[in-house]
Structure 1
């Protein structure tokens, strides 16, 4: 009896040890994603484009799924690497001592994960890092060297992507995950560690039952980079919008204006109305249930984007809007039309306000108009630059009137010889292109959540002028030139491709631009037709 008990105890113990050595399916697939991406950008033969790398992943995934232990899994990876060819000793693979590195994004500690990899595999991966590819990368490049952000190249289009194939779904997601892993300058700022996002996404991809499920899983992953440049567009995306411009004030969705004034005159909905529900779905429930699918760098840009999405459709139709005005709840049907037909009638780029104050709409001002405008403004006591829009590109010429020479930012960009590493670059100087007479009055800059990307960059340039005050609320926090990623199958997304900082190292990403005087619109102000941010700017000038 004692012998039988001892045998049973030993059997259970051995079974427990064997079970402990097994790796969960999600972790196996996550390790494959990491190794596939690492080899893609690090292995000398792979990074040089000598393999059909997507197909290599599709071929190895069934083997990975069948692996029943750490040893078996590592052997699969070792055999894979051995078949890729020679890894010559790299004599140049040291950090360039002339470069200043930004190391917050760099993390290859997973190479030593002894829970998943054997010591032999860890050593092999480390050897590849130490003797990584040097030269022109096959899958990524920096098309604009003076900028430095990285774009994809030589990636298959998969025009007829078979989304129903789970391995194809993993391929698309792994491609995106690794691009962010090695080339997203703000990875260190994400709310959730990027490793855990991969583990969280894989089961969603594995269990997707429709193309929409697949796209939703990708979108939820993309949202986790916390970047207002993120988002997803597919070949199915064609949206129709209402004429209403909305804005969240607190968690209330308020009508702030209209795209087309003629259409607005026919609408029962007015400026300052609070939207309560769309097609009987409350705004409150949309906030609670939909925010995981809304991209943005901070709450300001996420709520802005949610406002865009609430009243839209994939086909021309009408929406039932429930809204509140003066305590009374009302309903109205509004038509949805293509965005291209929602053209703002606002055309005035600049004007002189009462009190001899210049006002500039940076969303309308072009470089060719700057000289005429500044000639008109030369004797004004102040200029208000309204950056609550997307600028046309007048800032370089405009800076000639504000300062002789300034470097108002510095930047980081990916090091393609050491993927995952980033190097500092000094911001190029903005120099006066002509000997223009410098403006001597005050400079006021207006910002809000619509101020994004080039808009935030413009604000930083304007802030470097003397006597500048910035008024408004948190900007979108998505700075740096955009990198657009075509993942295949008509699926596209984008990221902030270059890291932009103030000269003192302060981030603009997620935080937004620096603000001197914070002012937010109120619902009553909208109802009264007031621009409270502009009013505050005028008050500061006159005081």
Structure 2
């Protein structure tokens, strides 16, 4: 009897193992079908003539086919895909219009992202492969596109439904989200070739994750992981207030340190306590550098907590982990804590101390009030900073504090020109995002005698061949061109120009830093690695009303060197020390003044 029972249990176990294996094999096949469908659907969306002119409702097609495609065998899959593609008009082939990739000029066209090798997959029938190849070789002669902005610097991708009432619990819609975001990067992100991970492998890894989404929390986290995967600081827009709703649940930021701080590769530097009472009660002091928390060295601690922060480079990761220039109260470097008291190892005056750090609890009203009061004080102080200031024979422009209301009036231009040209040097602080782009793109060149000039290579999505990018050669793409024929005023300013940059110098700040560096032969950049995200941001609307952001135009130095991820290279590397961070003096600015006055 025991033997029969034993064999029965063995048979049940074997049946279960076989069944689990079959289920896994089925899921693997489904995921493979989903991946292939997403790639081909994107090719149709961005390259087919019917989609270009608005006769292909990409979302509707995806939602109607995904379940059938997912469960299809190979023969059925090929039939479904072939029907979706339809006839490919031979009148629009690239070769017929002298637009074959092999023949295009590599200076005029950015072709590094183009790779249709996946079409060669032998799982596709010969007939389907021919369809796909023909489709990939189509060109758009209309000058418009249903899903790409006609004006290259416009941000919002057109005709993308928001599905604002979506509840995040439908596999079809979650996969549509993945398909839309993945293909937007595939065809409209100029720096896809610079990402750490192969984009097709990212798709493979993301499909199971998006299939498992059941609520808003898992939805937001999955999309956030896509943003992280593109290695682009502009992707950080996804985390802004009003977009990401579940930040505290995703990164678990319950506790707040009693001080402002800056995170760096090897430590967290204490800058300023939120109030005097907290400073007196803490065993830490301003200027201390925390090198380990709960026995974990800072490098590993910060790497774990920066894993879900979109960034082009490590400098931005550390910026996002800091409270520097952060008035939202984010303290990601102290996320995912099990309790409010930490054992910290601190470096102070060359010695190491083991101390206790007692955090503020955001569930405590008194703690919240302390944090809010400090942030409000910082905002009030920031508003008092002047956008333009004379320091003896030097004029300082602070890009982040100079607003459109501060722009000169036409009848003041001659006076401003004479005043600035009399200065020994001009300093441009680009450590905050420029608030008055007209100052840099028009007024300063005008009054300093600089004619508009191309200081970069600017590439925008090529509507004729989505997936490639075309060089915008006109000077008006780089600087404002006066329509009334206004000429620069007098001779070019030849005094010293110093530009201050750091990890907060981003996008437009990087763009104008490039321009100022080439303004005259006497310009110098002093600073550290910038955000590495130059070029107009593009925003894709996703189900649930979310915005998926990325850099949409390619910006390169005139000699072809990348700015993306690398940032704007300084002539003099400068980084504030731990000791100086806790002080009140702007030592970065002081470094610039020393260069001007002492030549070193």
The 1:374–1:475 alpha-carbon spacing in structure 2 relative to 1, beyond 3 Å, is farther
SS of equivalent residue, structure 2 residue 575: coil
Q: What is the alpha-carbon distance in structure 1 between the residues aligned to residue 136 and residue 585 of structure 2?
A: 59
Deviation of residue 300 (structure 1)? 0.5
User: In structure 1, which of residues 395, 400, 407 is the aligned counterpart of residue 440 of structure 2?
Assistant: 395
Summarize deviations over 1:139-181 as a string: whole Å, max 9, x none. Answer: 2223x35x4x664212221111131111211101110100110
Cα shift readout 1:78-118 (whole Å, capped 9, x = no counterpart): 23334xxx44332574345897211111122222222x322
Q: 2:379 pairs with 333, 343, 346, which one?
A: 343
Distance change in 2, residues 1:284/1:34 (3 Å): same
Gap change, CA 1:213 and 1:329, over 3 Å in 2: same
The answer on 1:141 being equivalent to 2:142 is no
State the match for 2:18 in structure 1.
none
Report the equivalent of 2:464: 417
Unaligned 5+ residue runs, structure 1? 1-18
* 8 Å Cα contact 2:448-2:489 kept in structure 1: no
Deviations 1:316-354 (A, max 9, x none): xx9878876844544353534499955242321222335
Tell me, yes or no, if the aligned pair for 2:78 and 2:125 is still in contact at 8 Å: yes
How far is the alpha carbon of 1:273 from its aligned partner? Answer: 4.7
1:531 is matched with 586
Q: 1:119-198, aligned counterparts within 5 Å?
A: 119-135=126-142, 136-142=144-150, 144-145=151-152, 147=153, 151-198=156-203
Q: Distance in 2 between matches of 1:214 and 1:278?
A: 31
Count of aligned residue pairs for this structure pair: 509
> 1:79 aligns to what SS in structure 2?
helix
Aligned to 2:266: 251
Residue 3 of structure 1 corresponds to none
Counterparts of 1:131 and 1:523 in 2: how far apart (Å)?
Answer: 57
Secondary structure of the 1:398 match is helix
- CA deviations 1:431-455 (Å, max 9, x no partner) are 7754156433211111000000000
- Report the more deviating stretch, 498-507 or 231-240: 231-240
Aligned to 1:298: 313
CA offsets per residue over residues 206-263 of structure 1, 9 Å max, x none? 22343212221211111111110003253625889999654223332224469xxxx7
| TM-score for both structures, normalised by structure 1 | 0.83
Change (3 A) 1:437 1:133: closer
**CA distance in 1: counterparts of 2:578 and 2:84, whole angstroms:** 62
Q: Who is 1:104 aligned against? A: 112
**What residue in structure 2 maps to residue 383 of structure 1?**
426
Give 2:568's aligned residue: 513
Establish whether residue 470 from structure 1 lines up as the match of residue 477 from structure 2: no
1:288 corresponds to: 303
In structure 2, the partner of 1:16 is none
Q: Which segments of 5 or more consecutive residues in structure 2 lack a partner in the other structure?
A: 1-23, 324-329, 361-366
Q: Which moved more, 1:381-390 or 1:50-59?
A: 50-59
Residues 507, 137 of structure 1: alpha-carbon distance in 2 compared, 3 angstrom cutoff: same
Aligned-partner Cα distance in 1 for 2:340–2:502: 28
Which one is further off, 71-80 or 298-307? 71-80
Whole-Å separation in 1 of the counterparts to 2:218 and 2:25: 33
**Kindly tell me: are residues 46 and 351 of structure 1, through their superposed partners in 2, closer, same or farther at Cα, counting changes over 3 Å?**
closer
Name the CA distance, whole Å, in 1 between partners of 2:27 and 2:474: 51
Greater fraction of residues in helix: 2
Q: 2:110–2:470: 8 Å Cα contact kept in structure 1?
A: yes
